Chain A
Amino acid sequence: MTIMKKLLTTAIASAMMVGSAQADISDDTVKIGYLADMSGTYRDLAGPNGLKALEMAIADFGGKVNGAKIEVVSADDRNNPDSSSSTVRRWLENENVDLVAGMVASSVTIAVTKLLEENDGLGIVSGSAASSITNEHCTPNHIHYVYDTYPLANGTAKAVVQEGGKEWFILTADYAFGHALEGDVTRVVEENGGKVIKTARHPFPTSDFSSYILQAQSSGADVVALANAGSDTTNAITTAGEFGLTQSGQTLAALLLFLTDVHALGVNSAQGIQLTTGWYWNMNEEARKWADRFMDETGVRPTMVHAGIYSSTMQYLNAVKATGSDDTQTVRKQMMDTPINDMFATNGRIREDGRMVHDMYLAEVKTPEESENEWDLYKIVRTIPGDEAYRPLSESKCSLVSKN
């Protein structure tokens, strides 16, 4: 009860502090728009199940915040920035949407965050990988929650170099995301005394990787790194297995793998692969409990994006409750001031560039012997503290940061 009282008093206090103009929740509704790929390439990592996660958060919050009801609208982004931006414009300008959540393809995310900045809306990006979203594309109107390319490279590449993988062959998906990842990996490898001896950029998407695997084999590199995503990565891993890449003494490093990808590959093909993740459903008691509930709802285990959507929605609603307002800057400030420790994040905090920094994990895919069921896929090898994992603010190109 004392907690409740405290919360209530802080809520009232902060409501009074913000001033009367933004002191309350506009039109007595908190409206959340969920925008994600519901039918295309990125469907499984966020998609319809991400909407479920969002709805779970609202239900757990009680469906109401400070007496105002919480509503959800959702749309398929079709991986198309045009469609997405007309949807989001309408949400912001006509339907008073307070928060846009989800967001996967980087082209969509960048388009939407620009709109949010124009219309002073708030966005929480959970699906996208590009670290540019809080770097050169940062805005005061969005938060990047789950992960980005920087820790992916940092976590996996560092670990592999330190284990003695000095010479690298990088197989890169030939688009912005792949290039960013390739750049980040190269930097990490060189900083740790390794060397990138060759890179090959394959078109996106590619189904046959045998040619690249053969090139990787003949390059004599110690490590073959995959700077790609989704079916490109799973295809490359399958082909590497078929051509005996690891048997010939090379290490395979996949930089971005989601739980759903590993599930699709199966532990037979994926065993031993090291990867960096922001969350794993079986990493602790709290995560497991939530994952069990998620599985009851959806029939599958959640990816880190699903968990991030739940967690970030909770954070948002708590901030609305605490400030008694759905004004963008008020809520964002409250979220930045509140450390995040929940089923998703440990030592989480939101920086001024919008990056949510939290501990990341170096995981290894279990062997068939270790794996007890179809979703028992990772063992956590190491925890990477958030500040070590993410791009330090001193390197940031974000205009919100450079002032200090």
Chain B
Amino acid sequence: MSMILGVPVAVLFGQLLLGIINGAFYALLSLGLAVIFGLLKIINFAHGAMYMLGAMVTVIMFDAMGINYWVALVLAPLVVGCFGVLLEYFLLRRIAGQDHIYSLLLTFGVALMIQGILTNIFGVSGLRYSMPEIFQGGFKLDFMFLPYYRAWVIFMALLVCFGTWFMIEKTKLGSYLRAGTEDAQLMQGFGINVPLLISLTYGFGVMIAAFAGVLAAPIYSVTPVMGSNLLIVVFAVVVIGGMGSIAGAIITGLLMGVIEGFTKVFYPEFSSAVIFLVMVVVLLIRPSGLFGKEA
């Protein structure tokens, strides 16, 4: 078997694939953040909590009402999205136009509340959620065993990422959105309900996070704190990609998944910090991130 730095090539192929899968998760999460920041200039520190809510809602709906995975895949993000719309309408709207830092503080406060309350109800050990029957088993590739579910994750994640990018950058709705947030008055003049548009955009951003949460529910332990550690990693991804750049967030997410994956082979202790090293280096060379516009 051929080796690279003492690691069989086959293993590295496997890690590459897993890296892309994890990267797809990062891409989904950072996509939502990028949409919210890029269009609304809100630093959404509740993003991790929304991801967690997506997973929790999936589990709770199953336990309480027997709602299965497939329905949850649509319903859970909708529920969380509605929650996001309410959040925007009742809280975030009041600080529109203020310094970024206030949105950070506000959303962080909201995240603390959600996590704390759920911790008191459900504990921190994690809720049980079994994988749908259809995903039992996997592909036996030459270099690894790929569970069907992971293949499904990467397929769905990329689909949503591409769909979102297309919608915002290439459709009329997207152009309204971009214009509405750039120049609200003008768009009001065209008869477009800008405040509603903003609420919906925020709702959409957290919906993507919740969607990632549903995808995560069968494979990660579902706890009220599952999003809190992911949060700053995802922020790092968005910054490296260039704040507000949709494509940047997606590509960087995938890239970071792969980099982190290889770090887990060669220097696993560093795998949670490597992304920050990348961020420092990238920002030194490109002050506005890989795909960001110069400020």
Direct A–B touching, Cβ under 8 Å: yes
Question: In the complex, A248→B25 CA distance in Å?
Answer: 27
Q: Interface digits, B218-261 against A, CB 8 Å rule (1 contact, 0 not)? A: 01110101100110000000000000000000000000000001
* Interface residue? B271 (CB, 8 A): yes
A235 touches B18 (CB 8 A): no
Question: In the complex, A264→B264 CA distance in Å?
Answer: 26
A243 touches B147 (CB 8 A): yes
Question: In the complex, A238→B222 CA distance in Å?
Answer: 11
* Interface residue? B168 (CB, 8 A): no
* Residue of B whose beta carbon sits closest to that of A206: B272
* Interface residue? A40 (CB, 8 A): yes
A174 touches B269 (CB 8 A): yes
* Chain B residues whose C-beta falls within 8 Å of the C-beta of A243 in the assembled complex: 138, 145, 147
B268 touches A212 (CB 8 A): yes
Question: In the complex, A210→B128 CA distance in Å?
Answer: 19
What are 5 inter-chain pairs, A to B, with CB distance below 8 A?
A: A210-B150, A214-B15, A234-B221, A238-B219, A244-B138
Given contacts A200-B268, A205-B229, A218-B8, contact A264 B14 (CB under 8 A): no
* Chain A residues whose C-beta falls within 8 Å of the C-beta of B149 in the assembled complex: 242
Among B117-125, B178-186, B196-204, B276-284, the one that faces the other chain is B117-125
* Chain B residues whose C-beta falls within 8 Å of the C-beta of A40 in the assembled complex: 124, 225
A207 touches B271 (CB 8 A): no
* Interface residue? B113 (CB, 8 A): no
| Nearest CB on B from A40, distance (A) | 7
* Interface residue? B74 (CB, 8 A): no
* Chain A residues whose C-beta falls within 8 Å of the C-beta of B226 in the assembled complex: 207, 231
B123 touches A44 (CB 8 A): yes
A41 touches B272 (CB 8 A): no
Question: In the complex, A260→B125 CA distance in Å?
Answer: 6
8 closest Cβ contacts across the A-B interface?
Answer: A203-B272, A264-B126, A211-B264, A260-B125, A264-B125, A234-B221, A44-B125, A266-B128
* Chain B residues whose C-beta falls within 8 Å of the C-beta of A201 in the assembled complex: 268-269
Q: Interface digits, A157-182 against B, CB 8 Å rule (1 contact, 0 not)? A: 00000000000000000100000000
| Nearest CB on A from B275, distance (A) | 11
* Residue of B whose beta carbon sits closest to that of A263: B125
Question: In the complex, A268→B133 CA distance in Å?
Answer: 13
| Nearest CB on A from B41, distance (A) | 29
| Nearest CB on B from A300, distance (A) | 8
* Chain B residues whose C-beta falls within 8 Å of the C-beta of A235 in the assembled complex: 220-221
* Chain B residues whose C-beta falls within 8 Å of the C-beta of A239 in the assembled complex: 219
Question: In the complex, A258→B21 CA distance in Å?
Answer: 30
* Interface residue? A228 (CB, 8 A): no
* Chain A residues whose C-beta falls within 8 Å of the C-beta of B124 in the assembled complex: 40-44, 230-231
Output the residue of B19, B126, B221 with the most chain A CB within 10 A. Answer: B221
How many A-B residue pairs have C-beta atoms within 8 angstroms? Tell me: 113
Question: In the complex, A218→B145 CA distance in Å?
Answer: 11
* Interface residue? A208 (CB, 8 A): yes
| Nearest CB on B from A255, distance (A) | 17
* Chain B residues whose C-beta falls within 8 Å of the C-beta of A329 in the assembled complex: none
B22 touches A208 (CB 8 A): yes
* Interface residue? A202 (CB, 8 A): yes
Q: Interface digits, B49-87 against A, CB 8 Å rule (1 contact, 0 not)? A: 000000000000000000000000000000000000000
* Chain A residues whose C-beta falls within 8 Å of the C-beta of B15 in the assembled complex: 211, 214
CB-contacts of A257-282 with B (<8 A): 258, 260-261, 263-266, 268
Q: Interface digits, A343-376 against B, CB 8 Å rule (1 contact, 0 not)? A: 0000000000000000000000000000000000
Q: Interface digits, A223-260 against B, CB 8 Å rule (1 contact, 0 not)? A: 00000001100110011001110001000000000101
* Interface residue? B11 (CB, 8 A): yes
* Interface residue? B156 (CB, 8 A): no
* Interface residue? A134 (CB, 8 A): no
Question: In the complex, A40→B116 CA distance in Å?
Answer: 9
Question: In the complex, A243→B137 CA distance in Å?
Answer: 8
* Chain A residues whose C-beta falls within 8 Å of the C-beta of B25 in the assembled complex: 208
| Nearest CB on A from B153, distance (A) | 11
A214 touches B225 (CB 8 A): no
* Interface residue? B2 (CB, 8 A): no
* Chain B residues whose C-beta falls within 8 Å of the C-beta of A41 in the assembled complex: 124, 225
* Chain A residues whose C-beta falls within 8 Å of the C-beta of B225 in the assembled complex: 40-41
Given contacts A210-B21, A238-B221, contact A266 B116 (CB under 8 A): no
B128 touches A207 (CB 8 A): no
| Nearest CB on B from A76, distance (A) | 12
* Interface residue? B131 (CB, 8 A): yes
| Nearest CB on A from B122, distance (A) | 10
| Nearest CB on B from A395, distance (A) | 28
* Chain A residues whose C-beta falls within 8 Å of the C-beta of B271 in the assembled complex: 202-203, 206
Question: In the complex, A8→B123 CA distance in Å?
Answer: 44
Question: In the complex, A44→B272 CA distance in Å?
Answer: 26
* Residue of A whose beta carbon sits closest to that of B226: A207
A238 touches B10 (CB 8 A): no
* Residue of A whose beta carbon sits closest to that of B116: A39
A207 touches B145 (CB 8 A): no
* Chain A residues whose C-beta falls within 8 Å of the C-beta of B125 in the assembled complex: 44, 230-231, 234, 258, 260-261, 263-264
* Chain A residues whose C-beta falls within 8 Å of the C-beta of B11 in the assembled complex: 214-215, 218
* Interface residue? A128 (CB, 8 A): no
Question: In the complex, A277→B123 CA distance in Å?
Answer: 21
A218 touches B219 (CB 8 A): no
| Nearest CB on B from A174, distance (A) | 5
| Nearest CB on B from A379, distance (A) | 20
* Chain B residues whose C-beta falls within 8 Å of the C-beta of A207 in the assembled complex: 220, 226, 229-230
* Chain B residues whose C-beta falls within 8 Å of the C-beta of A109 in the assembled complex: none
Question: In the complex, A39→B230 CA distance in Å?
Answer: 19
Which of B18, B123, B220 interacts with A43 by CB under 8 Å? B123
* Interface residue? A135 (CB, 8 A): no
* Chain A residues whose C-beta falls within 8 Å of the C-beta of B128 in the assembled complex: 263-266
B22 touches A266 (CB 8 A): no
Question: In the complex, A43→B220 CA distance in Å?
Answer: 19
Question: In the complex, A39→B224 CA distance in Å?
Answer: 11
| Nearest CB on B from A9, distance (A) | 47
